[in-house]
Amino acid sequence: MGGMNMSQAMKDSGGDWRYDFEALCLLPDRQLEELMRSGTAPTFESLAGWEFDGYNTGKIAFAIRKFRKGYYSDPDLPAGEIGGYNVNISQSGGMRSEWEAVIKGGKPQRHSYFRVYPVREHEQDNLYPNGLLLNYHSPRTPWWNPASRLRDYLVQIYPDNPDLLLGKAYAALPGGKRIFVSFFVLQRAVRG
């Protein structure tokens, strides 16, 4: 794997090299793009009821590197969708430090809710038909919240590992334009 060392990847039981969470966070965008295109959509069953620690890889996301995303079943959403939210995480420490939720009123701060569904070919946000779309244009995220403009794609890079996911975030601008924001990596953390 082209100059990869042991801190960047691990071998699976079959002897194949695989990226771990930290290695994915350090990959250049062109390699992350290849993994986005070859990944598959995670199942709702593997997401709902869980929170995943996340890390934004891009330079534009420098203020918020660490975050957490949670997923849940929601009977108020249309069939074929689940819900999701973000949790504020302390930005102290680096990638190797613990993900500590910011507590307010005795609870982690949940915000920027989104709808999760398979990418729909007939919609504008259809760049990765092999993934799920996290659409922040949601009844629980008010239009004036900048997060309401986010459209994230999410894939599972290894078919046998639903605990490690890769995402790509875009901002939806007026006039139908989309601007790439950042890749992000998710790792299963805690029950939501």
Mean per-residue pLDDT, 138-148: 86
Rounded to the nearest 5 degrees, what angle is found at the Cα of 34, between the Cα atoms of 83 and 84?
Answer: 5
pLDDT in tens, 70-80: 999 999 999 99
Within-domain flag for 178: yes
Domains identified in the chain, total number: 1
Within-domain flag for 121: yes
pLDDT in tens, 120-142: 999 999 999 999 999 999 888 88
Strand pairing class (110-118; 132-135): antiparallel
Within-domain flag for 5: no
What letter does residue 41 receive in the DSSP assignment? P
pLDDT in tens, 42-64: 999 999 999 999 999 977 655 78
Mean per-residue pLDDT, 151-160: 97
The CATH number covering residue 76 comes to: 2.40.128
Within-domain flag for 21: no
Q: Identify the domain containing residue 34 by its residue range.
A: 28-191
Confidence class of residue 5 from pLDDT cuts 50, 70 and 90?
Answer: very low
